[in-house]
Chains A and B, each alone.
Chain A
């Protein structure tokens, strides 16, 4: 089945700097790659997603890039703000049509 890995497990950036979170996946048939943000005590919330026929997608300060050859995709957050501090999960839909999630990365934005 699909295996999704996120590294590192924590990331700390200065407010205003950019943050990049990377994920790799194993199933070359995967075709849908969402990113979720989870704030303390809440459920994960979809923030952006990308499909395998697209290389990049932007939504204001966030963007996602996909490299199908290398089987990795990344979340880019520009001009980070304290409210961006959260746990971020990447996921991939493999051949079984179910989402497989990475273990999550804790992003801390220092004021």
Chain B
């Protein structure tokens, strides 16, 4: 099993550009999450999904959008990139609440 796969691993984006961070999992997990990690700040929840067709905002959703058309995929969209969105982004999934998350290897995004 590949687990949780994120692409790309690195990306430099100019202010105002848009991009989609891809996340796919092959474990048939219903629950999927997007986090951002900034130095010394831990992991902040951006958006999450409890199943295909269902998404909800987390702690820091502004500037981002998500969709969940299939169980496997949970892409994160940045529409108008801003320097404050420079961060490392992690996608995670779990079979159910109250169980550990499996994380992807992350996408390091720099906005210039």
Contact = CB atoms under 8 A, between A and B. Distances in A.
Interface string B23-63: 00000000001000000111101001000000000100000
Contacts of B103: 36, 43-45
Interface string A78-111: 0000000000010001000111011110000000
B104 A102 contact: no
A98 B98 contact: no
Given A43-B106, A101-B43, A93 B97 contact: yes
Interface in B63-112: 90, 92, 97-106
A40 to B, nearest CB: 11
A26 interface: no
B108 to A, nearest CB: 9
B45 A98 contact: yes
Interface of A: 9, 31-32, 34, 36, 41-46, 49, 51, 89, 93, 97-99, 101-104
